[in-house]
Every structure is written in structure tokens, then in C-alpha cells.
Amino acid sequence: MTSKQPNELTALEALSRIEAGTLTSEALVASCLERIKDREATVGAWNYIAPEQALDAARIADKAPSGGRLRGIPVAVKDIYDTVDMPTGYGSPIYVGHRPAADAACVTQTRAEGGVVLGKTVTTEFAFFAPGKTANPHNPTHTPGGSSSGSAAAVADFMVPLAFGSQTVGSTIRPASYCGVVGYKPSFGLVARAGMRPLAETFDTVGVLTRSVADAAYFVSLLSRRPSLRLGGKLETPPRIGLCRTPEWAAADEDVAVALETAARLAAGAGAKVSEITLPEAFSRVTKAQGDIVDYEAAGSAAYDMAVHRDQVSKSFIERAEAGIACSPEHYDEALSIVFNAQAVLDAAMGDFDVLLCPSATGEAPKGLGATGNPIFSRMGTALRVPCLSIPGLSGH
């Protein structure tokens, strides 16, 4: 077996080698930058890269007595998070060259832990649906998903081990599924959102993309200041998993049915207790309600852009914002009630199950770069504000 190049290591593998003295942050960052140089023309994951700045930060991390708990591990920042030393464009021509006055809270925390920010990754416009330039690294004629398009593609293509995503609908889970990486949307509010471009504040959540579940847990444990989130040791009792096809099952293609059954079979074979669960009627309207809430709130978050720079806003965003403007406050309040009621009864609905096994996407990454795929299977988890994890399994054709 050939040994991994530094850029191919997971964050925790790299961290272990750095702590052992067999790898430096500078060598790791240089390896990632070389991969970006070789592949960026094909993948298009980045809006901005700061090679010399990253290498300087890596050298500082290597010389630091402690180095922080990230010790020079490179990180990609989705371009909806403010960065004081790099432009932040929010996926819009309106903000080309925009320089925020401060870092987003999660970026500040990353730097404080010794993480090295390589640059800014491509996001869809305002983290909604209008895609950027990024292609799926496994097949560049297919979408990487969105809105965390560049972050998912960069992690999948071994350009960087850790990346920030976000999720308001399915912006971490869907691209993770399409690109074959781990996507983790923590519980709503677990990671501070200060300095994050808002889309729909009822649901906006900081997410991460990695190549291992342990990496995702470790990174979020630092960002949330909750060490208990890190993986370690064996479970005292087998997990109880509810196989849940969700009320949106009609949207799943044949491959998803195979993938879900395969995942259930493998989990049971590893000792988990797996059985089917059907969610009660309270959950049947959540997906539609979540979409209505997002449209309503998106119209407000982009009020300035729509009023002053409408000619530079995409047709798809204008359509969703206009749908939100047309939504009456009574309908919006009813949608909120549907979602809040489902949140309130979730524990009872899950019964003795620890976790639900659901699809991450309707199928493999669709062909074409003009759209980012259907987020329907992510809406419920986002609406319920629960942690969601997409784990790579079967590959597409």
C-alpha cells in the first residue's frame, strides 16, 4: 500500500503526525496548495486563495509552543463567512472585492486554535440556489450540490481536510452526499453565527465538511466549546436506529432505496438494533412549511440587494424572494406553527430510537452545472433543528 500524501490525510491523521514531529504544518499546507494548483482549473472550488499568507501562518504554527488544538491544519472557509483579510463576496457580483471589518466568529475560533485559513470557497448566491462555477470532482459534468459547493468539492478532491459549510435548507448535507464526503449540520445554534451572511435566520446553521466523522466531531467540538462531542471509546449499548423513509419518500430514486437498505443492513450487521419507523401526521407538512419560511425570510435578508442592486440578483433568487413577499404574515405564522409543533413532538415520535436513518439526497449528483439538485430530503432535519450527518457510502455510476 502506498503511503498517503500529506494533502490526502484526514485532519486528525495530520494532527497526529504534526504532534509526533513527522509532519509540519508548512509541508501539509504546501501539499494542499500543490493539489489546488493541479486541480482547481477542473474543479473550480475556490473564489480566493492566499498561498503565501497560508504558508506564513503554517510556519508560525510550527514554531508556536502549543500551536492550538488545530496546530496548523488547513481550513477552507465558505464565502458567506466574513474574513477580515480576504474578500467576502457571498456568491454575488454585488459584493466582489468586499472586505468585511472583522472575521466571522467561527473563523476567529479556527484561527485561535491554530487553524490555517487557505482561502474562500465558492458558494451559491447568498447560500440559496443560483450555482457558482464549481464542478463535482468525481465527474466535472455533474453538480457538486449546493450551497456549500466549493467546500464539499475541495474536501472531496483532497485540496483541504476541513471546510466550513452552512445549512438553511440542505446546503451541507446534499453536497456532502453528491461529493462523497462527511457533512455535519450540528444542532441549531450550537456554533455561533456572528459574521455569517443570513438567509433565513429561523434555520441558518454553521456546518462542516470533512473526510471522516471523527474529524467533523473534533472540529465542531472546538467551535462549540463542547469537548464531549468528540468521538472516543465504544458505545455501552448498541444504538437503536429507526429506518425512516420520511413523508418525502416518493422523491427518492431507485439508487436511494438500495443505498438506504444497504446502510440499514450494514448497521444491523455491526450490532445496531434497526427497525422501521413511520413519522406521525404532524410531520407530513413540515417540508412545505420549511420552504415557505425560507422564502419569507430570504426576502428580508436580501432586502437591500433586491431594492438597490436588483439587476445583479439572479432570476432564481428573485423568484424565491418574490414568493416570500407574496406570502402573508398569517401564512408565515402558520408555517412556523407547523414546524414548532413538529419540534415539540419529535422526542415522543422517535420513541426509543437514538437516531433516524434517512436519505441525504434524492439520488446521485445530477448531470449539469445549471442547478444544484433537489434538497427535499434535508428540509425536515433542518426544520427540526436537530443534528444531521451525511456519511459517504455507495458511489454513483
Pairing relationship of beta strands 116-121 and 74-78 according to DSSP bridges: parallel
Pair 197, 79: CB distance under 8 Å: no
Residue 244: closest CA among 107, 350, 168, 332: 350
Pair 379, 169: CB distance under 8 Å: yes
How many residues are present in the chain?
397
**The sheet that has 273-276: what strands, in order across it?**
273-276, 240-243, 355-357
Catalytic residues: 78, 147, 171
The three-state secondary structure class of 331 is helix
Rounded to whole angstroms, the Cα distance separating 326 from 299 reads 10
Q: What is the largest CA-CA distance in the chain?
A: 62
Rounded to whole angstroms, the Cα distance separating 35 from 29 reads 10
Q: Rg of the Cα trace of the chain?
A: 20
Rounded to whole angstroms, the Cα distance separating 312 from 98 reads 15
Which of 3-10's residues contact partners 24+ apart within 8 Å by CB, and which partners?
Answer: 5/31, 5/158, 6/30, 6/31, 6/32, 7/31, 7/32, 7/34, 7/35, 7/158, 7/159, 7/160, 7/161, 8/158, 9/161, 10/161, 10/210, 10/211, 10/212, 10/214, 10/215
